[in-house]
Amino acid sequence: MARIDFKEIPQANLANGEQDTFELFARDFLEITGYEITTEPNRGSDGGRDFTVTEIRRGVGGTSRIPWLVSCKHHAHSGKSVSTTHEINILERVAQHNCSGFIGFYSSIASSGLSQQLEGLRTNRPDFDFQLFDGEKISTKLMSNPELGVLLEKYFPDSFQSFHLSNFGINLAMARFGKPYPVVFKHPTEEVELSVKEVINQFPEGNQYGFIPWTGEMFLFNNILGITKVMRRNELVDPTFAELEYLDRAIEFQIEHIRQDMEKDKELAKSKGE
């Protein structure tokens, strides 16, 4: 299941002025990922094209440019998969827009029938290729690529807020980075030595938990003894500096967002004479 609520993006089949939001999100996502936007998303009868992008591949033999047709389908609100009835005449559409491949960018998933059809096209047509970005894959990339983090706040503000980043003792974590973690810990007022698990169990008031937004993993702080760990594969391991650094930036971004919201509330109250 996708870790981001794609229903935060308005439905694409309602003419309310926001029906293009998912296409705009797809454009921003692919551009930050590294694709060049060849044609922008547009409304109207466009021959089955949502927009086109170009992928630049560099190798020992030189540089090649691969044009892709991008087809966006936003079915998160209905929960339906994208089937062959939603994606018709794929080869004709790809050829019509002078592309070499097809990118399906979906907020739900592709049906098994559509996946099999695309695999068959690739097998029988060596000049054709395809990529599928479903909700789970998009979520994973959003939370694993720091450069994509800005799209969380822009298109998924509720999902972004749900991570409760402000509860993390990030300053303590940054201060302890690079210092050796002992195998056992000793509380300042006690003589007995404790393991990490014993500290967590005996001093629960110092434990703070939250999710790392780009991996979905659990982050643990125990501020009593300065423990900072990540729960990874059911083990407590040390976080990397890159993880801590990005988390620090994300928290600063959220704090600034909260401050701006408070300022807006003050201005609104003032305008109402409250």
pLDDT, tens digit, 9 for 90 and up, residues 127-150: 999 999 999 999 888 876 767 778
Domains in the chain and their CATH numbers? 6-145 (3.40.1350.10), 163-269 (no CATH)
Where does the chain have alpha helices with state H?
A: 21-33, 90-96, 112-124, 135-144, 149-155, 157-161, 170-176, 196-202, 241-271
How far apart CA 265 and CA 274 sit, in angstroms, is: 11
Give the model's pLDDT for residue 208.
59
Give the model's pLDDT for residue 178.
46
Closest CA to 93 of 116, 118, 70, 127: 70
Split at pLDDT 50, 70, 90, the class of 180 is very low
Split at pLDDT 50, 70, 90, the class of 62 is confident
What is the percent of the chain with per-residue pLDDT over 90, rounded to a whole number? Answer: 38
Q: Quick count: other Cβ atoms within 10 Å of Cβ 158?
A: 10
State how far Cα 170 lies from the chain centre: 21
Give the model's pLDDT for residue 260.
77
Instruction: Check whether 251 has a pLDDT greater than 70.
Output: no
| 139 token code pair | 């979520």
Instruction: Find the helix or strand (DSSP H, E) in which 235 lies.
Output: strand 235-237
Mean pLDDT computed over 30-49: 78
What letter would DSSP give residue 16? S
Q: What is the pTM of this model?
A: 0.61
Closest CA to 65 of 54, 52, 77, 80: 54
The larger pLDDT score, comparing residue 8 to residue 172, is at 8
Residue matched to tokens 């994300």: 250
Q: Quick count: other Cβ atoms within 10 Å of Cβ 61?
A: 7
Mean pLDDT comparison of 7-11, 57-61, 162-166, 205-209, highest-scoring range: 7-11
The larger pLDDT score, comparing residue 72 to residue 164, is at 72
How far apart CA 142 and CA 150 sit, in angstroms, is: 9
Q: What is the pLDDT of residues 80-99, one digit of tens each?
A: 999 999 999 999 999 999 99
Q: Quick count: other Cβ atoms within 10 Å of Cβ 238?
A: 18
* Contacts made by residues 192-196, CB under 8 angstroms, sequence distance 24+: 196/227, 196/229, 196/236
Residue 110: partners with Cβ closer than 8 Å, 6 or more residues away = 81, 82, 104, 118, 132, 134
Count, residues in the chain: 274
Which segment of 38-42, 45-49, 249-253 scores lowest on mean pLDDT? Answer: 45-49
Average of per-residue pLDDT values in the chain: 77
| 219 token code pair | 């982050």
Instruction: Check whether 44 has a pLDDT greater than 60.
Output: no
Q: How far apart are the first and last CA of the chain?
A: 44
Give the model's pLDDT for residue 221.
59
Instruction: Check whether 114 has a pLDDT greater than 60.
Output: yes
The larger pLDDT score, comparing residue 220 to residue 46, is at 220
SS3 106: strand
